[in-house]
Amino acid sequence: MTTPRPETVAKLTPVLTKRWLSPDAWRIGTYEQLDGYAALRKALKAHPDDLIQLIKDSGLRGRGGAGFPTGLKWGFIPQGDGKPHYLVVNADEGEPGTCKDLPLMTHDPHALVEGVIIASYAIRASRAYIYIRGEAVHAARRLRNAVQEAYDKGYLGRNILRSGYDLELVVHSGAGAYICGEETALLDSLEGFRGQPRLRPPFPATHGLYASPTVVNNVGTIASVPPIVLGGADWWKSMGTEKSSGPMIYSLSGRVANPGQYECSMGVTLRELLELAGGMQPGHNLRFWTPGGSSTPLLAAEHLDVPLDFEGVAAAGSILGTTATQIFSDQDCPVYATYRWLEFYHHESCGKCTPCREGNYWMVRVYRRILAGQGTHEDLDTLLDTCDNILGRSFCGLGDGATSSVTSSLKYFKQDYLDYIEGRTAPKLSDKQLVGAH
């Protein structure tokens, strides 16, 4: 295992993770001792519009995958419209490889609760929801406990800290569907319907939850708000790059010596992250990786020095996504990894639109054929053609995301496909697993 150099260690910028190792970090007493709820006291003395401006000035961009500017999103909420406004926190975190929001809610749930109160005050919402995925029982328990502690201390409920501001916060557990992380499907699910994406426009900013103005933000986005209120926009911008400001939690998994969450300034490279994580596991050499979960095109060993910010990853032909860096080595097969991801997308496709529902179904079958040693050269054209018909033609981002690993693995690792087709690699699937593949 390699020891990181001091200049690489200096890349660590613990802001959202800074309390995670404190004893009982999830309890309100610990949180209050470590700056907790100081930002709320400050925010409640400010005008809501000034808070929206502060978030705009900080350059904070959504941590849910798309990197949309948060202050701009808050500014879209019409004011003085006489309708209820809602803040909905997206805590579904279902993207394969992604594991930054659940640890945050488990270790430091008050950071999210405080962020929710400030954000709700800024957009003039008197009701907020945290939609957490159903399987995350432990995190949901911690969160519910934190919400109760905040009510007991007067940070939630009526007349918060005697400011005249009222807020009710509800933690809602979903039933566990990846599509319910898509913001409009999430809203349908929260309203009690089957979670399927809505047609846009109208957008949630005007017609969101219960057809009222709604902000949907990721856990990491909202948990970033208290530090920005306390530290200011310039401090936040002193970390990261010009267009991707602040720190980011990078989750390393796979063939790495010390997998886990590493919070660094945006723009850190995988080479530096691997150094922080003790390098690759012994006997493994980096072969391919995802910069931001399975919906983002694969990158290869040649991309070790790509700056991991929104612009840098886009320039390398991929997407920063959720900064879930899944590391694969020369002992892993890109064809098989892509197949496993496709099984996931096929299973999680909500079925609303034909390209995604049928396209993923067919691609899974083509992969099974290839991995069972019965693929043909035409299968590779079929895969690319199917991706062409899914990407940009699907109703929501799930369909688009499913094509990422297919097209990128064919771009970088076509030889691996040919080795199965031409019999140089032993089949990974048996005839039994081929049912329906022809």
Residues near ligand FMN, by CB under 6 A: 62-66, 68, 90, 92-95, 178-179, 181-183, 216-218, 221, 396-398
Q: Is 179 near ligand SF4 (CB under 6 A)?
A: yes
Please choose which of ligand SF4, ligand FMN, none residue 68 contacts, taking the beta carbon within 5 to 8 angstroms, the exact cut-off set by kind. Answer: ligand FMN
Q: Is 197 near ligand SF4 (CB under 6 A)?
A: yes
Distance CA 409, CA 201 (A): 34
Site string for ligand SF4, 323-352 (x = CB under 6 A): --------------------------xxxx
Bridge partners, 129 (sequence order):
88, 170
Please choose which of ligand FMN, ligand SF4, none residue 221 contacts, taking the beta carbon within 5 to 8 angstroms, the exact cut-off set by kind. Answer: ligand FMN
Contacts for 71 with CB less than 8 Å, ≥ 6 apart = 52, 53, 54, 55, 56, 57, 58, 60
- Cβ-based nearer residue to ligand SF4, 172 or 352: 352
- Cβ-based nearer residue to ligand SF4, 92 or 416: 92
Cα dihedral: 418, 422, 426, 428 (round 10): 50
Q: What is the DSSP letter of 240?
A: B
Site string for ligand SF4, 361-400 (x = CB under 6 A): ---------------------------------xxx-xx-
| Rg, Å, the chain Cα set | 22
- Cβ-based nearer residue to ligand SF4, 111 or 179: 179
Report the sign of the C-alpha dihedral through residues 47, 52, 58, 63, in that order: positive
- Cβ-based nearer residue to ligand FMN, 66 or 380: 66
Please choose which of ligand FMN, ligand SF4, none residue 379 contacts, taking the beta carbon within 5 to 8 angstroms, the exact cut-off set by kind. Answer: none
In this chain, which stretch among 16-24, 283-291, 353-361, 373-381 interacts with ligand SF4, using CB under 6 A? 353-361
Distance CA 275, CA 269 (A): 10
At 349, list the tokens.
Answer: 């496709």
- Cβ-based nearer residue to ligand FMN, 183 or 188: 183
Query: Quick check: 183 and 25 in contact, CB under 8 A?
Result: no
Distance CA 229, CA 338 (A): 42
Contacts for 204 with CB less than 8 Å, ≥ 6 apart = 183, 184, 187, 213, 214, 215, 216
Please choose which of ligand SF4, ligand FMN, none residue 66 contacts, taking the beta carbon within 5 to 8 angstroms, the exact cut-off set by kind. Answer: ligand FMN
SS3 call for 218: strand
Q: Give the residue from 382, 328, 386 showing the smallest Cα distance to 356.
A: 386
Contacts for 191 with CB less than 8 Å, ≥ 6 apart = 209, 210
SS3 call for 280: strand
Looking up tokens 């691996």 gives 416
- Cβ-based nearer residue to ligand SF4, 264 or 396: 396
Query: Quick check: 278 and 258 in contact, CB under 8 A?
Result: yes
Task: Give min distance, CB of 355 to ligand SF4, in A.
Answer: 7
Please choose which of ligand SF4, ligand FMN, none residue 90 contacts, taking the beta carbon within 5 to 8 angstroms, the exact cut-off set by kind. Answer: ligand FMN
Query: Quick check: 165 and 159 in contact, CB under 8 A?
Result: yes
Helices (H) and strands (E) in the chain, counts: 20, 9
- Cβ-based nearer residue to ligand SF4, 41 or 194: 194
User: How many residues at the interface with ligand SF4, by CB under 6 A?
Assistant: 14
SS3 call for 324: strand
Please choose which of ligand FMN, ligand SF4, none residue 64 contacts, taking the beta carbon within 5 to 8 angstroms, the exact cut-off set by kind. Answer: ligand FMN
Q: Is 406 near ligand SF4 (CB under 6 A)?
A: no
- Cβ-based nearer residue to ligand SF4, 344 or 395: 395
Task: Give min distance, CB of 93 to ligand FMN, in A.
Answer: 5
- Cβ-based nearer residue to ligand SF4, 197 or 291: 197
- Cβ-based nearer residue to ligand SF4, 353 or 372: 353
Task: Give min distance, CB of 342 to ligand SF4, in A.
Answer: 13
Task: Give min distance, CB of 67 to ligand SF4, in A.
Answer: 20
Task: Give min distance, CB of 98 to ligand FMN, in A.
Answer: 7
Contacts for 377 with CB less than 8 Å, ≥ 6 apart = 418, 421
At 177, list the tokens.
Answer: 């569907």
User: Which parts of this chain interact with ligand SF4 (CB under 6 A)?
Assistant: 179, 197, 349-353, 356-357, 394-396, 398-399
